Amino acid sequence: MSFFNFSSNIVYSSSKLPLTLMTLEDWSFITVEGQDSKKYLQDQLTIDILQLKKKHYTLCAHCNFNGKVWSTMYLFHYKKYYAYIERASVADKQIKELQKYSIFSSVTIKKKNNICLLGLSGLNARVILSYYFKKIPNIIYPISIENGTIILWFNNPIERFLLVLSFDNAILLKNKIEKYALLNNSKQWLLLDIESGFPIIDHISSDKFFPQAINLDKLKAINFYKGCYYGQEIISRIYFKNLNKRYLCYLIGKGNISPKIGSLIEVKIEKKWYRIGILIAFVCVNINEIWIQVVLDRFICQNSLFRIDSFKNIFFIKN
């Protein structure tokens, strides 16, 4: 969460992004503590937590018994235990599901409201961070912790940093960086996530998709050989029998619209329009451009024409 919000500015694609500091008010920071935390998470998440190294994080998912994704998250070591970052709109729902069986284990799961999440990316982002932090994460050690501030490093679609810090330190950093950087809100980070292929699972999209349908297998966010976890049998069967026919991608269109999450996507084949997928995230870029993240039912060639069912006058093409 963030206790201060920057006013919305123009959102840029990664290739045009100036140095930008972003409040990540659409994300939450959750800790999982207690002597059973490792085993508990191992039985719940799609990755093998035993392989998670210090100074590293991993993308993973928490699924229901039917193998549908409650939430996607970044998980990492935190103090003696673990923490993860996920979309704020789904956090309460996901934590409730994760806590269901915690009565039988020594584990405590809490959403932390006394911290601030910021993103930094664009021209010379690493150089600017090095003015204020000695340890800047990189491809070898993609997470660093310095004086209580956690920094996660991402290299897709461009180099960017996610910072978890106290309110006081957030204000100090903002006051120092704002003379160099554009200030923006979570929409800018969301666009970078869409470009990178990170699946945006918000409240409406929770409990709707198998992990493979949102590319989590391709993103190495599923371990198919570890012990059982919730949904594991169905997820493994889909993988080993090659049953998945859906995939995640993004489309770009011209127009100034605000579609609903969950809207149907149609594709034009010859002279007819067919329902082909579902919209799960969108960002309006500049004034007259919109990027949407969608789950499509089958592979469609690059030059196909798409539209949102409720906005039939706005057309999209694949990235």
What pLDDT does 236 receive? Answer: 95
Q: Which domains does the chain have, with CATH numbers?
A: 14-196 (3.30.1360.120), 247-318 (2.40.30.160)
166: nearest Cα among 118, 203, 211: 118
pLDDT on residue 101:
85
Give the whole-angstrom CA distance, residue 56 versus residue 140: 9
Q: What does the alpha-carbon distance between residue 319 and residue 302 come to, in Å, rounded to a whole number? A: 8
Residue 177, token pair as written in the block: 């960086």
**Which one, of 249, 265, 258, 263, lies nearest residue 290 by Cα?**
258
User: pLDDT tens, 241-291?
Assistant: 999 999 999 999 999 899 999 999 999 988 899 999 999 999 999 888 999
Residue 265: CA count within 13 A, CB half-sphere = 31
d(CA 13, CA 15): 6
Burial call 230-252: b when 16+ CB within 10 Å, e when fewer: bbbebbeebbeeeeeebbbbbbe
d(CA 261, CA 203): 10
Nearest Cα residue to 25 out of 48, 8, 46: 8
Torsion over CA of 184, 190, 192 and 194, rounded to 10 degrees? Answer: -160
Joined together, the tokens standing for residue 270 give 């010859």
CA distances to 21, 22, 70, 178, 219 from 175, rounded to whole Å, are: 11, 13, 37, 6, 36
DSSP 236: H
pLDDT for res 265: 96
Task: Give the Cα separation of 34 and 98 in Å (integer).
Answer: 14
pLDDT at position 228:
87
DSSP assignment, residue 45? B
- Mean pLDDT (10-residue bins), the chain, 319 residues: 65 95 97 97 96 97 97 97 98 96 91 96 96 95 95 98 96 93 96 98 97 97 91 95 95 94 94 94 91 91 87 90
